[in-house]
Copies of this chain bind each other. A is one copy, B any other.
């Protein structure tokens, strides 16, 4: 047994049967960052105040991206998402933006893919909006920070 639940006994991909899992409150938090040139960081930070709100657009893209998760990820179950929030922190040390997404549902399976998709889409949108001044930005550190509410119990990243 490989432990990979998305394959059946013959090794064929399928959408895992969650029919018998309980409908419970579930939450997941994911994070990531986008690293950029100092000058780009300055433009985005400043822009937030008055020249164009890169972060505002990227936040919205992240929220909407979470809603598209089951359309993007082939074997994901569609879920009635009950909350999405995407937070940005300006980190001068990178320099760049740190992104954290929190997603909740009341459903039969977890929302870590939704949280990861929100972070990833938000980061891609920052790239898109800033690429005219900086093509070398890099997206990284995308991982699950917290997952709770299902049968498999609480997971916290170390």
Show the binding face of A for B, using Cβ within 8 Å: 2-8, 11-19, 25, 32, 43, 46-47, 50-54, 56-57, 59-61, 63-65, 67-68, 70-87, 104-108, 112-113, 116-117, 120-121, 123-125, 127-133, 135-144, 147, 155, 157-158
Contacts and interface: CB of A to CB of B under 8 A. Distances in A.
- Residue from A6, A79, A123, A158 whose CB has the most chain B CB atoms within 10 Å: A6
Nearest to A18: B82
A138 B141 contact: yes
In the complex, the count of this chain's copies comes to 6
Given A2-B46, A76-B128, A82-B108, 12 more contacts: A4-B51, A6-B128, A6-B132, A13-B129, A60-B74, A64-B74, A78-B78, A116-B139, A123-B142, A135-B155, A140-B141, A140-B142
Contact of A143 (B46, B51, B73, B138): B138
In the complex, the 7 A-B pairs of residues with the closest C-beta atoms, listed nearest first: A7-B52, A140-B140, A17-B83, A139-B142, A14-B85, A15-B84, A2-B51
A62 to B, nearest CB: 10
A132 to B, nearest CB: 4
Nearest to A80: B78
